[in-house]
Amino acid sequence: MTRPRYAPHPDANQQDVIDALRAGLGADAVILDCSRWASVYDLLVYAYDVRLGAYRWQPLELKTAGGELTAESQ
């Protein structure tokens, strides 16, 4: 069950994930923090997909390593 998102509630590990994505995807990737809006996703990433040979949008929902929500998001 998800909670309604009325105010920004970034996950505790969100900045670490954003930093890793920026380092791995390069400068041309766009990473939007969707946690500030009423969204089912935490991040929206626009980057080059080698398999498709084109850029695409990829929504991401962040979890801890065990697949659980972090303490700040419960």
Place of tokens 């398999």: 51
Asked if residue 71 belongs to a domain, the reply is no
Number of domains making up the chain = 1
Domain span at residue 35? 1-62
pLDDT given at position 24:
92
Asked if residue 35 belongs to a domain, the reply is yes
pLDDT given at position 38:
65
Rounded CA-CA distance 60/39 in Å is 11
Asked if residue 51 belongs to a domain, the reply is yes
pLDDT given at position 21:
93
Asked if residue 69 belongs to a domain, the reply is no
How does pLDDT run across 6-40, given as a tens digit for each residue? 566 677 788 888 999 999 998 889 999 887 776 77
Asked if residue 73 belongs to a domain, the reply is no
Indicate the pTM of the whole model: 0.68
Structure tokens at 10: 């970034």
